[in-house]
Amino acid sequence: QSALTQPPSASGSPGQSVTISCTGTSSDVGGYNYVSWYLQYPGKAPKLMIYEVSKRPSGVPDRFSGSKSGNTASLTVSGLQAEDEADYYCTSYAGSVGGVIFGGGTKLTVL
């Protein structure tokens, strides 16, 4: 069970858009529409931002959007704000044996 692959870092200026990728295999990301994205501030618990590839929980701004193509899922943050600076993690369901797999995390910096 290997971790999903995320870029270690991403950055953008306020107002810009940034996209973070999450690459897995046909056994996880590509096999199910069950990709989630989490935002984590230092010293805090992760917060669910996207589930089922592209759905937003109540209260999450529509600046956050998700998509998937093949074995790669993506999180796009539009209209970057200073408060978006955080670590972002993707997860995917990997079947009844694999359970849930996390990505390695991406540190988003707002320049």
Binding site for another protein (CB under 8 A): 1, 3, 33-34, 36, 38, 40, 44-48, 51-52, 57, 89, 91-93, 96-105
Between 13 and 43, CB nearer to another protein: 43
Long-range contacts of 77-84 (CB under 8 A, 24+ apart): 77/12, 77/17, 77/18, 77/19, 77/20, 77/108, 78/17, 79/15, 79/17, 80/12, 80/13, 80/14, 80/15, 80/16, 80/17, 80/18, 80/110, 81/14, 81/110, 82/14, 82/110, 84/39, 84/108, 84/110
| Least CB distance to another protein at residue 14 (A) | 27
Instruction: Identify which of residues 3 and 17 has a Cβ nearer to another protein in the complex.
Output: 3
Least separation in angstroms between residue 101's CB and another protein is: 7
Nearer to another protein, 13 or 96 (CB): 96
